[in-house]
Structure 1
Amino acid sequence: MNTGHDNNSRHDRSASAKWFTDSRYGLFIHFGPYAQYGRGEQVLFREHLDHQEYAQQACSWNPEHFNATLWAQTARKAGMKYACLTTRHHDGFCLWDSQYTDYSTAAQACGRDLVREFVEAFRAEGLYVGLYYSWMDWRIPAFFDGPEKDPDGWQAMKEYMHNQVEELLTRYGQIDHFFFDGVWPRTAEELGSIELVRRMKELQPGILVNNRLGPSEGTRTYADGGAGAGDSEVLGDFGTPEHQIVPDPNRLWESNQVTTWRLWGYAAGERWRSADMLLDMLCECAEKGGNLLLNVGPQPDGQLPPEFVQRALEIGAWLEVHGEAIYGADGGDLIEFVTRGRQTTSGNHLYLIIRFWDGKPVLRLADLISRVTRVTLLTTGQELEFEQQDQVLWIKGLPKERPTALFPVIWVECDGVPKSNIWGQQRLWQGDPSRIADWARTRGSSVYADGEKR
């Protein structure tokens, strides 16, 4: 990994990086007074609502059925290993008892510190704890005017943000994961990102901080699914591609994805992605060496939507059987396997995650050059016969019917770390084209069916 700037030390070999990599799967929770509108987390801005009316409704919000223990138990049963809660989104409303504002759940209607309840409940279930914090506050003109137009207002806003982050890191014990968001139109220099992260790591030495710390002078903000995220190419312990799965070459990474079609906060009538589509996202992240942070937007009363719970528990049941192919996996993409599914590796094991089960008794696996010692259908525990010949592995005795409603997994044990030949290392439209010419030459070189020249 890129060791980058020492002011924001990488955790590629640290214990904090190990838990992150071993986890592979986390829960993102977008919860706030916007849930009352049922049109996503950014309804205030996207619909240009009246600020006073929104604030009045926010201050009267009472998520009476919010039960952090039930949330945490659901996440654990779903196979998730960590969770991140939006402590304050772009609307500026805080879910904890902040001494710097009364615009919070603690000071207003429900009178509860939801962050405390979240942290304590998830920690009790053995999950790692993450907190989300928005740099942006749509209510404050100085954030958008910036330090040049309003130096005093900007300085007050900056101090407010830094103070609130310190609150979050000093009141609730160990925090493992911190997710900034909403930088646009500010920069890392204006926000004081470097000094803030330095302070964060003094307070929480093991914490992992994401890359949305603002673009630095001379760098660009790159794609994450939203121009406002402020991804930094050089700052941050982990990358956060949003609505897409793109490995970050500079650091650890997690893909942020919704369980619905688009919105992060609760949206009445939103369409839901299927369990197999969500599981495929998790498998793709693991295959590419990253994590999946899968979002839910709880209902305004604090309950998790039943559509989410159903899908999450389906995936959790799959992980109980197949989790070794995901948790702590070293990534995959060892051989060409798109026509069948996905793959991960761990030690001397190769896991074949079959998205497309064709019902045939034999599976042909090309380009694996390591000697195979054992093959098992992990889904059922059935030992499978196999044969290796000319860098092709034939796996035999597969059942006609798919042995699970989701993705069956075949476990292949090798005599060492699995390795592939040049065809596994260079894929479609990649590498040296001479290998393809040599392969084509095995049938001849003419356009006629038999390859012979006329």
Structure 2
Amino acid sequence: MEKPEMPEGWKWFTESRYGMFIHFGPYAQYGRGEQVLFREHLNHQAYAEKACSWNPQHYDPELWAYTARKAGMKYACLTTRHHDGYCLWDTRTTDYSSAAQAPKRDMVREFVDAFRKEGLRIGLYYSWIDWRIPAYFDGPDKDPEGWATMKAYLHAQVEELVTNYGQIDHFFFDGVWPRDSEDLGSVELVARMKEIQPNILVNNRLGSSKADNVYADGGAGAGDSEVLGDFGTPEHVIIPDKNRLWESNQVTTWRLWGYTNGERWRPADYLLDMLCECAEKGGERGGNLLLNVGPQPDGQLPPEFVQRVLQIGQWLEVHGEAVYGSDGGAVTEFITYGRQTTKGNNLYLIIRFWDGSPQLRLADLAVKVNKVTLLTTGQALTFSQTEDELLIQGLPRERPTRLFPVIKIECDSTPAANNWGRQRLWEGDPERVAEWARRQRGTSVFVDGKPRG
């Protein structure tokens, strides 16, 4: 059965490929991640007092937005309220917010205005769970009245967020456990959100149904649903969602999302490789990277983050056509060198492992090649092509960029592979491997492949 055509208002998502995730809240003061309240079983009253006095004097979303744009990101998603219940907007539902407490600022308003001004799409994160409220965990069976109040609170907050800030492009729910979609009324809420914001994309963390109790990607805590939501959200992994759009949520550090003292940072090439992997595995059904930063308690972006993403941004200025709006890749087996993406009749070779050889052999490409260019420098490369291989020549010995060089191959039709190229290691018909060995060397265990005796 053919998949329905993507709505016009959603196409920005696959054209973007790359966004910024921002985990920011009073938990940053502790420097031990966004879930420190629960993971360290802190005193609720002491945490709330510290949260209410939190006042990030260097919160400057205009600088954040400028950095995101220079980094090559096309959208951003801010945690409006994480599991600790503290709200970053001027809400009528509670005084536990940045507007009512020390900052006296609607941080969501400032974020939306700043990022929209820089031309980025707007995403908002919202946690269903609130560790402060017993009714959330007691649920409708144990505390029906308390749950009804809690559910109304959640729905009212989400409606504020999608009503008061203009066009919202991307909405990221999180933290369903131990509730399900029926408890939360998530289907009804999403319907209401789409009445207000017809083009909004809502993620899949909407809770399983009592009827099937099935979660995608094993995400019982996140509440991933196999059937609900417009896009999938694999976390810490890059696993395509075959049924809908998807984005991989990844940290720039080793593990934690909120600001953490002493966290280790992943290098720029590792982060870029995640972006390229998402693009390679993507296509018309998604393949985005939502890359996280946890700003410092005072609101500044960590310099380690800025340094890395600006390196990636410089790479994208030259090589962005291999990522933005790409059609997926891995046309042929290419893992010994790097990754592939495609766009129209173009095949892009993203070279992770530059070996210094003046030539590169690409096997199993089944379409005619018209032109080959080292995209990194603009240099035209000579090549020869037979039925089974493309031999690219004239490559420089020294890697022409600190990150990944890219070779652009312009074909006379959509890039495609022969039968061998479509089947990969540990996949496909084993007879092709037998025939390959039989034809080229024989059948025996001896060096020449000829039987003895």
Both proteins in one fold, TM over 0.5: yes
Identity value in percent = 74
Question: Which secondary structure state, in structure 1, belongs to the residue aligned with residue 217 of structure 2?
Answer: coil
Which structure 2 residues correspond to residues 88-127 of structure 1 after superposition, within 5 A? 88-127=81-120
Give the distance between the partners of 1:424 and 1:103, measured in 2 at CA. 58
Runs of 4+ residues over 4 Å off in structure 1: none
Secondary structure of the 1:223 match is helix
* Counterpart AA for 2:449: G
Find the partner of 1:198 among 155, 177, 191.
191
Code of the aligned partner of 1:446: S
Give the structure 2 partner of residue 46 of structure 1: 39
1:330 and 2:323 aligned: no
CA distance in 2, matches of 1:342, 1:161: 43
Residue ranges of structure 1 left out of the alignment (5+ in a row): 4-9
Deviation at 1:390? 2.7
Could you tell me which residue of structure 1 aligns to residue 289 of structure 2?
Answer: 292
In the alignment, does 2:440 pair up with 1:446?
no
2:20 aligns with one of 19, 22, 27: 27
Query: What is aligned with 1:237?
Result: 230
**Corresponding residue for residue 242 of structure 2:** 249
Q: What are the ranges of 5 or more consecutive residues in structure 2 without an aligned counterpart?
A: none
Please say if residues 97 and 113 of structure 1, whose CA atoms lie closer than 8 Å, have aligned partners that are also in contact.
yes
The whole-number CA distance in structure 1 between the counterparts of 2:217 and 2:266 is 23
Corresponding position of 1:310 = 307
Cα distance in structure 1, aligned partners of 2:89 and 2:405: 43
String of CA shifts for 1:222-257, please: whole Å, max 9, x gaps: 326x54100000000000000000000110000000
2:347 maps to 1:350? yes
Match of 2:256 in 1: 263
What letter corresponds to residue 123 of structure 2 in structure 1?
G
One-letter amino acid matched to 1:267: T
What is the DSSP-based 3-state SS (H/G/I as helix, E as strand, rest coil) of the residue aligned with 1:323? helix
**1:170–1:203: 8 Å Cα contact kept in structure 2?**
yes
Contact 2:346 2:411 in 1 (8 A): yes
Match of 1:156 among 132, 138, 149: 149
SS of alignment partner, residue 91 of structure 2: coil
Contact 1:2 1:251 in 2 (8 A): no
Q: For the Cα contact (< 8 Å) 1:40–1:263, is it kept in 2?
A: yes
Deviations 1:67-112 (A, max 9, x none): 0100000000000000000000000000001000000000000100
Q: Does structure 1 retain, via aligned residues, the 8 Å contact 2:15–2:324? A: yes
Alpha carbons 1:219, 1:233 under 8 Å: kept: no
CA positional deviation for 1:220: 1.1
How far off its partner does 1:304 sit?
Answer: 0.2
How far the C-alpha of 1:212 sits from its partner, in A, is 0.3
Alignment-mate amino acid for residue 325 of structure 2: G
The alignment's TM-score, normalised by the length of structure 1, stands at: 0.97
Residues 413-446 of structure 1: per-residue CA shift (max 9 Å, x gap): 0001011011221100111111111101021001
Number of residues of Structure 1 aligned to a counterpart in Structure 2: 446
C-alpha contact (below 8 Å) 2:10/2:199 kept by paired residues: no
| Structure 1 residue 333 displacement after superposition | 1.2
Cα distance in 2 between the residues matched to 1:435 and 1:197: 49
2-side partners of 1:2 and 1:168: how far apart? 35
C-alpha displacement at 1:2, in angstroms?
7.9
SS in 2 for 1:154: helix
The CA RMSD over aligned residues, in Å, is: 1.0
